[in-house]
Structure 1
Amino acid sequence: MALVIGPSRVGKTTLIRLLEERLLAQAKSQMERDASFIPFASITAAGPNASRFDWRTYYRAILRGLQDPFVDGKIARIRERELREAMETALLQRRPIALIVDEAHHLAKTSSGRYLQDQLDHLKYFENLTGVSHLLVGTYELRPFRKINAQLACRSVDIHFPRYDAAHEEEAQAFRSVLWALQRQLPVEQEPQLVDQWEFLYARSIGCVGLVKMHLNRALALALTEKKKTVTLSHLRKTALPEARVELALRDALESETELAETAGADERLLTLLGLRGSRPASSQQMQEKDQSSSPSSALRPGKRGPGRDEIGGGVSSDEQDRAG
């Protein structure tokens, strides 16, 4: 299982289209020899009811991607188990290289009380049964998928698809090149000088090309409405995203980039945990047992009797003995 993670509008869907083209080109000869072979199935996890994830919709989408002729037929209602078995059979027969799932972060949205680990265990079961790998593509909401448990963490590969980071000159130059290509494609009489405004466009897009394109579409619509010959800085400013929205997206990106980046000293920290550097740190269970053993034995819960016998007779005062006599 592979996780392709990046900010919204960074170009992940475009990456999927390029991957599909490459898979088709590589599998062309095999498809000509074997008519049953389909190199991939590409679906979107977010359906019409995007507030929750539904396995029935997921199974049907894969069956459509594998060109099942009966999935949309006018037949009686099919139970979820039957849909799952049909999908498993189709995967075994079609033998795709991969299942590509866009908007995969919607897997975490459930309506039946299933936890995220249950969803990923479900996918792992399909991979074990059919031998077909899942390529899950989504926003930074996919981050929890990476560490849901030790087994899944070791079975998956993370692929970070980041935004352009203009703090590095080579990436700033690449971003300017993108703007140069986009300004040549705008349908206006005079080519706008977007490269001259690259810092403003970068700030309002945080380096995500998809956000740049949406911004340019809004600015172009305004320029055409005003019957202007080109897109000006005024058009760009009037149609830019508000600072509060941009800051929200930027903070999420910065936090996610920090989590996904491996900091210096990772090898030494792992070797220390393995006991090869100094003393091995105590586990949480060992620390708990140590705390319990070091607590005073006299610290008893209220109402709980201490160990041993109660004293008999010795605790009666002399006044009580005289009255009793």
Structure 2
Amino acid sequence: DLSPVCNLFQLRYLKLEGNRFQFPDTSGELRYLQVVDIKCSGDLVLVGGFLSDACLPSLRHLRTPWNAKLGRGINRLTSIRTLEEINFCNCSVENIRHLGMLTNLRTLGVIYNRRRGNDEDDQTDMVKFATLTTSLRELGSCNLRCLDFNVALMEHRQPPIGFLYSWFPPPQFLQKFHPHMIFFFRVPYWIQQVETLTSLRLIVDKLEGDDMRVLTRLPCLAYLDLQAIEVPGMEIIIDSVSFSALKELKLIYKSSSLSIEPGAMPKLRIMHLIAFGHAEQDTRSLVGIQHLHNLEDVIITYDYNNVMVAFREAL
């Protein structure tokens, strides 16, 4: 029972770890509380009174367990800047709609863990994702800086990604976009308009030449984790004006050659290449790595000996 905590009038930081917690209906006089960090292995419900901004006027950061259920009142957290590990499947449509009202929100972390083969929640999820689309548009026009959207495990269902593929208008201040285990058909077009982006993680079914150019022209991008299931042109070219700010690159690609032109990635320090394919006779090569004058660490993972030979020759 956490009721006694509500009498700690000067409390600014609250971290909870355990199996079960019983939250009070009201947070009392915790007017200085700024951070709530909860790790709980059991079912957890954050009831409305505890999330009332009238009782928590200073709350800036809230991290919940992945299985937590947010009660009513999230729209009253008008000072909140960080919401992490919010379980989409446990959220009501009302809560998702109220996310768009949190105009000071800078970091949003969402977990999606709907299991495959369960069709009874399809209609509800469609309504929720439509609502989330609206909320993200509202947040994107305010202060949103970081968005993590995490599909928990491979056996879980893929969410409909239309809400992430066609984000319009694009988020004007977004710096970090990390959709985890979400498969895009192509690089989302709106990304090229987000010049503030510094950290990006993407999985795409197809990586065309235009897709790569969209990414290479991002002026502030410092970290890129890109996985390409197919490369139709069989070659990835990083041209001479590419990735002017990039410091770390992780590239997972299939059956393709990678060519780096002089002048590309002038600030790159860490490069992790993972090359995979179907047959040992695949022709894959690495060209131009000698142009990366600031490179400090290179990690290469491969599946066939011919790739090892090609990369060894390049190095």
Q: Give TM-score, length-normalised by structure 1.
A: 0.24
Name the one with the larger helix percent: 1
Name the one with the larger strand percent: 2
RCO greater where, 1 or 2, for CA within 8 Å and sep 6 or more? 1
- Rg: which structure is higher? 1
